[in-house]
Amino acid sequence: MRTDSKVWEFTSSGAGAWYDMRGISRSVTFYIETNGTSTATIRIDEAGSTSSTSHARVLSAAASLSTGESTIATVSRPVSAVRPYVQSMSTGGVRVELVGEGSW
C-alpha cells in the first residue's frame, strides 16, 4: 500500500496550490486546523488535473473552524487534483494536511 501526503500552510485567505493525486490513492483524508489565534472557513476543491482546473468543483463543503479547532474531511474514492481553499480567516494561520492511501 502506498501512502502520500502534502501540507499547505496559510496566513491569509485564498487557494492553495493544486496537488496531483491521479494514480496515487483510492481515498484521501484532509486534516484541517487553525492555530491558537485564527478562525477560518475552508473548503476542498477538485479538478480533472493540475493543468485543467477551469472546471474545478467543490469536493468537500466548507467547514468553519473557531480558534484552535480542527476537523477531518474524508473522501472515499479516487480523486485527481485537489487543493484547499481558505474562503475567509482572521489573523493567524491555518494548516491543511492531506493523506492519501491506496494500493495502486
Q: Which amino acid does the sequence have at 27?
A: S
pLDDT in tens, 15-50: 999 998 877 777 888 999 999 899 999 999 998 888
In a domain, 30, yes or no: yes
For the question of whether the overall pTM of this predicted structure is more than 0.95, the answer is no
Give the pLDDT of residue 101: 67
Angle at 73 between CA 70 and CA 74, to 5 degrees: 145
Instruction: Tell me the C-alpha distance between 71 and 31, whole Å.
Output: 6
Q: Look up the domain containing 25 and give its range.
A: 14-64+72-90
Kindly state the cell numbers that stand for 91.
489573523
In a domain, 23, yes or no: yes
Give the pLDDT of residue 104: 47
Give the pLDDT of residue 3: 59
**pLDDT > 90: percent of the chain:** 51
In a domain, 97, yes or no: no
Domains of the chain: total: 1
- Of 20, 73, 13, which Cα lies nearest the Cα of 46? 20
